[in-house]
């Protein structure tokens, strides 16, 4: 991460003395977070009782902007000690504007889902130490409503945790915040109020997967039932626009047949209407935002004609998207690498990615978004090259899995309890995921030595079983069974978590660095 200019340059003797006093008070663990704002120094006290620290001269208005206790800071200075509260998080974003989420535009970007609210420092370190800072724009606050429900977190808590984490890491570049898998206007409004700036619309419930196999008569019947009024269109108009001539995609053309267009409209027409309705909620708010459309959690891969239809209709309706996540060929399961299936292998994926990237460039431009992007190491070089950096990587569960890796070394007994609990919960919890692990292949805790525990995080079946059950683990016995010990262990030995997370996330972001 590019360092700030020498903070002593052009400062008075009094300012330099304040900075030196702040460094002494912060200590080595908190030094990374130390920031100057005007004539005040701010940092985050590290450890299991984190606190906002503000050192300033008496009468400095910064002391009135935060809630806390003000005492003698030595050397004639005043020291405020404040809680990591929502009010102080908001005030911190006002004081240090780069911590306030903003739209990131078409920059190569990565979303770092953090289900615990503890991972952001490790994410920031991975970007810094790979040289990706400034090349891969980070979305530190990223959470779906589904994940918030399972972990019992509120939208504001997700944004605030990312704020404190970025502050702790000394992050000085812009950040985004992704309200992932949005399905309702009420959820959109709640996330707007919390300060999210990227809204990923998931219209999966409005995608008609039956279009894939329907015969001509059934297709026609479904076509007539589309919400044409909401789409501000009709079938004849759609045909005139997209069947008259091949679409010019820059380095290629794409001809769409009437059957392909019919299936595309039936499959995605209602989804586009739903996306339009949520887009208008966002536009009416007056807040800065950008929109991603995600159709990755559907039954069949998105074909090139289907992608082109969606892109053309969004553009016609004035729905600007910054990124779009098709359902790609092959299996994109949670927390494991790409797997081939009947729809295609890695070579097929590369061939279709080339076409999807051409559509995104010519009919947007917008980024291709790689969902279930955690640990897809074989895919990263391909999509980075074919998109020319016009790509958004979305990860989530892998940071939770790395927390478990840390727990395996910090508190093996706790890891053993979680492992056996997860094995018992997997068949229930996997219902909303496209996972294929076999719990019978995951050994019970009693059969493993302590030295074997971390190795489970390298095993296909164990990774998915442990990933899928995160919500049940964090909320078991109303959040009292594992959660307090889980958090206490990671906060007590936070550098262990940051180090394993940094090492793992480096593998995610390195392929997206522009040479």
Interval 400-456: pLDDT, tens: 999 999 999 999 999 999 999 999 999 999 987 878 899 999 999 999 999 999 999
In a domain, 359, yes or no: yes
Distance CA 141, CA 177 (A): 5
**Phi, psi of 290, deg, nearest 5:** -140, 160
In a domain, 4, yes or no: no
Dmax (CA) for the chain in angstroms is 84
- Average pLDDT over the chain, rounded to an integer: 95
Give residue 2's pLDDT. Answer: 42
In a domain, 236, yes or no: yes
Distance CA 442, CA 314 (A): 45
Same structural domain for residues 384 and 428? no
Same structural domain for residues 121 and 246? yes
In a domain, 77, yes or no: yes
Same structural domain for residues 89 and 59? yes
Same structural domain for residues 485 and 392? no
In a domain, 506, yes or no: no
pLDDT of residue 71 exceeding 90, the answer is yes
Same structural domain for residues 418 and 381? no
**Phi, psi of 395, deg, nearest 5:** -120, 160
Distance CA 98, CA 166 (A): 10
Give residue 181's pLDDT. Answer: 95
Give residue 172's pLDDT. Answer: 97
Same structural domain for residues 19 and 135? no
Distance CA 357, CA 390 (A): 8
Go through the chain and tell me how many residues it has.
515
Q: How do 323-325 and 247-248 pair as beta strands?
A: unpaired
Give the HSE-up count for residue 110: Cα atoms under 13 Å, Cβ half-sphere: 28
User: Among 95, 129, 158, which residue terminates a domain?
Assistant: 95
Instruction: Give the whole-number percent of the chain exceeding pLDDT 70.
Output: 98
Q: Is the Cβ–Cβ distance between 491 and 118 less than 8 Å?
A: yes
CB burial readout 250-288, b (16+ within 10 A) else e: eeeebebeeebbbbbbbbbbbbbbbbbbbbebbeeeeee
User: Among 44, 72, 95, which residue terminates a domain?
Assistant: 95
Same structural domain for residues 366 and 417? no
17 vs 177, residue with greater confidence: 177
Number of domains in the chain: 3
CATH code at 139?
Answer: 3.20.20.70
Same structural domain for residues 84 and 186? no
Domain that holds residue 25: 13-95
Same structural domain for residues 393 and 415? no
Same structural domain for residues 43 and 178? no
In a domain, 354, yes or no: yes
Distance CA 291, CA 294 (A): 10
Interval 393-407: pLDDT, tens: 999 899 999 999 999
Count H helices and E strands in the chain, helices first: 20, 15
pLDDT of residue 46 exceeding 90, the answer is no
CA of residue 393 relative to chain centroid, distance:
8
pLDDT of residue 475 exceeding 70, the answer is yes
Catalytic residue positions, numbered:
180, 292
pLDDT band at 10 (very low <50, low <70, confident <90, very high): low
Same structural domain for residues 109 and 87? no
Give residue 330's pLDDT. Answer: 97
Question: Residue 241: which of 261, 270, 226 has the closest Cα?
Answer: 261
Instruction: Give the whole-number percent of the chain exceeding pLDDT 90.
Output: 93
Give the HSE-up count for residue 455: Cα atoms under 13 Å, Cβ half-sphere: 8
Averaged pLDDT for residues 8-20:
78
In a domain, 148, yes or no: yes
Same structural domain for residues 392 and 378? yes
In DSSP terms, which residues pair with 71 in a beta bridge? Answer: 79
In a domain, 515, yes or no: no
Interval 219-264: pLDDT, tens: 999 999 999 999 999 999 999 999 989 999 999 999 999 999 999 9
């Amino acid at each position: 991460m590019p360092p700030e200019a020498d903070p002593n340059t052009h400062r008075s003797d009094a300012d330099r003395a304040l900075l030196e006093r702040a460094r002494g008070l912060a200590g080595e663990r908190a030094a990374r977070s130390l920031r100057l704002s005007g004539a005040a120094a701010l940092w985050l006290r590290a450890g299991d009782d984190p606190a906002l620290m503000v050192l300033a001269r008496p009468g400095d208005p910064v002391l009135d902007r935060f809630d806390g206790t003000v005492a003698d800071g030595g050397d004639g200075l005043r020291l405020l000690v404040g809680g990591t509260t929502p009010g102080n998080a908001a005030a911190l974003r006002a004081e240090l504007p780069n911590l306030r989420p903003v739209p990131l535009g078409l920059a190569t970007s990565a979303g770092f889902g953090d289900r615990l609210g503890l991972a952001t420092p490790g994410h920031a370190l991975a970007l810094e130490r790979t040289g990706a800072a400034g090349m891969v724009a980070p979305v530190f606050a990223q959470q779906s409503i589904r994940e918030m429900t399972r972990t019992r977190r509120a939208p504001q808590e997700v944004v605030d945790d990312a704020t404190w984490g970025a502050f702790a890491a000394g992050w000085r570049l812009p950040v985004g915040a992704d309200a992932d898998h949005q399905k309702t206007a009420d959820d959109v409004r709640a996330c707007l109020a919390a300060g999210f700036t990227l809204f990923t619309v998931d219209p999966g419930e409005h995608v008609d997967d039956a279009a894939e196999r329907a015969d001509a008569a059934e297709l026609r019947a479904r076509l007539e039932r589309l919400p044409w009024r909401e789409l501000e269109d009709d079938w004849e108009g759609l045909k005139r626009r997209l069947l008259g001539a091949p679409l010019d995609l820059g380095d290629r053309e794409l001809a769409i047949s009437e059957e392909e267009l019919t299936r595309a409209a039936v499959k995605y027409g209602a989804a586009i209407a739903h996306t339009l309705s949520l887009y208008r909620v966002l536009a009416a708010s007056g807040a800065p935002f950008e929109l991603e459309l995600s159709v990755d959690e559907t039954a069949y891969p998105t074909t090139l004609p289907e992608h082109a239809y969606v892109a053309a209709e969004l553009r016609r309706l004035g729905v600007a998207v910054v990124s779009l996540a098709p359902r790609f060929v092959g299996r994109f399961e949670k927390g494991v690498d790409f797997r081939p299936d009947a729809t295609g292998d890695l070579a097929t994926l590369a061939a279709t990615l080339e076409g999807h990237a051409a559509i995104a460039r010519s009919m947007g431009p917008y980024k291709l978004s790689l969902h279930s992007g955690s640990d897809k190491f074989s895919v990263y070089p391909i999509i980075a090259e074919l998109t020319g950096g016009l790509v958004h990587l979305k990860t989530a569960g892998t940071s939770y899995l790395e927390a478990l890796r840390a727990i395996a070394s910090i508190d093996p007994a706790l890891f053993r309890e979680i492992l056996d609990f997860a094995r018992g919960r997997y068949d229930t919890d996997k219902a909303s995921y496209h996972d294929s692990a076999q719990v019978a292949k995951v050994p019970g805790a009693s059969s493993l030595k302590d030295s074997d525990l971390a190795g489970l995080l390298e095993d296909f079946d164990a990774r998915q079983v442990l990933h899928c059950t995160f919500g049940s683990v964090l909320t078991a016995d109303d959040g009292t069974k594992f959660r307090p010990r889980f958090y206490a262990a990671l906060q007590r030995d936070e550098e262990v978590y940051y180090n394993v997370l940094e090492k793992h996330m480096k593998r995610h972001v390195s392929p997206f660095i522009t040479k």
